[in-house]
Amino acid sequence: MNEEIVKRAASILEREFGPDWQSIAQELGTENLRKRVGKELTSFMAFPERGNGGNSQWRGNCSPEVVASVLRYVLDTKRYYGKDISQFTLLDPMSGSGTSKAAADRLGVKSVLYDLNPAPAAGLGGWNALKNDVEDSADLIFFHPPYHNIIQYSGNMWGKPHPDDLSRCENYNDFLEKLNLCVRKFYMALRKDGRLAVLVGDIRSQGNFYSIQHDMMRMGSFESFLVKGQFNCVSDARRYKKPFIPIVTEYLLLLHKKEVFMIPFHFAKESCFSIADTDLSALTWHHLIRMTLESGGGQMTLTELYERLSRHPKAQKNTHYRERIRATIYEHKDQYIACGNGVYRLTYQVA
């Protein structure tokens, strides 16, 4: 869309609606994604207006509309299948400013809240997710953990630094291990046909990108994966010189406990291997030669290429590997430049 038209539309909205114009535009702009086929909850969530419930000043808290939307969906599903909801219970084990209670009260269901904070806004305080048992059971557990150390809670938002605060883990792997323990513990606390809703986000820390939703453990049937837009973040007003992709979304994973004893699970495993001594069906001689030249700064003699690749599994399986190297270079003249005296270089600069 033409930039001038966008600026003009923004100016008209601002004159008409004052400081609320941006939230109105965001509501309009996301409506077709938030509402489809007669449903109020889709795989994209956006709440530019936070809504009432909890404390908007509590850093990292989510909109009560997020909790209410998931809660309403679970209630509607149970009603549709004729399940009894008279004793329906929502449990929030890291309740922060009490947002979940506000959503549950609005929909008329029982809520149970825990928090590590000894003096929480609502519910049981001083509850340690890593050491204490979940004594209650629930039909929906809404779990919104800290995003590693992006916002530290104990010693900052409340009280003194606590060694079992997930926002004060030693490193990301330590955080992930403790987060996965919480996922297992909370899943066990679900009643049959219950749901565990986990709201997490991607983070950047010390130059590294981490996707919590990708790395965390999943238990039960993966019922849905919802993308949630972020609005009014503290970092929105900052400006950065270094190129990077700003994180403007969070993710809600909805895990369904269909069976009591049989538990499907998914556990991400990360590893690394070296192409320098590994052969793959997807690895061609062209790939291998190009990578070898890149490892040497983009330029080598044929003799150096022969020497470097002689011990590779591809060469070990091909007694005519030297001929194959020369033929590959000849077949890709647009990517390898002959510099004379048996020297070849890539057509591009190696970073």
Residue ranges of domains in the chain, CATH in brackets: 35-266 (3.40.50.150), 275-346 (1.10.10)
Q: Is 261 helix (H, G, I), strand (E, B) or coil?
A: coil
pLDDT over 90 percentage in the chain: 74
Mean pLDDT of 8-19: 81
Task: Tell me how far apart the alpha carbons of residues 15 and 86 are, in angstroms, rounded to a whole number.
Answer: 49
Tell me the mean pLDDT in the region 292-304: 97
Task: List the structure tokens of 12.
Answer: 């008209």
Among residues 318, 323, 276, the alpha carbon closest in space to that of 296 is found at 276
Write the pLDDT tens digit of every residue in 72-83: 999 999 999 999
- Mean pLDDT over 264-284 rounds to 92
Residue pair 90/110 in contact by the 8 Å Cβ criterion: yes
Q: Report the pLDDT value the prediction gives residue 233, as an integer from 0 to 100.
A: 60
313-336 pLDDT, tens digit each: 999 999 999 999 999 999 999 999
* Geometric angle at alpha carbon 234, from 32 and 13, rounded to 5°: 45
The tokens for 338 are 């002959």
What pTM, to 2 d.p., does this model score?
Answer: 0.84
pLDDT of residue 38: 80
Dmax over Cα atoms in the chain, in whole Å? Answer: 85
Query: What does the pLDDT look like over 110-133, one tens digit per residue?
Result: 999 999 999 999 999 999 999 999
What type of residue sits at position 216?
Answer: M
SS3 306: helix
- Is residue 14 within 8 Å of residue 21, measured between CB atoms? yes
Q: Is there a contact between 322 and 304 (Cβ–Cβ < 8 Å)? A: no
Half-sphere exposure of residue 19, counting CA atoms within 13 Å on the CB side? 1
pLDDT of residue 232: 66
pLDDT digits (tens, 9 = 90+) for 198-239: 999 999 988 899 999 999 999 999 999 999 988 766 566 677
Q: Could you read off the pLDDT of 162-204 as tens digits, one per residue?
A: 999 999 999 999 999 999 999 999 999 999 999 999 999 999 9
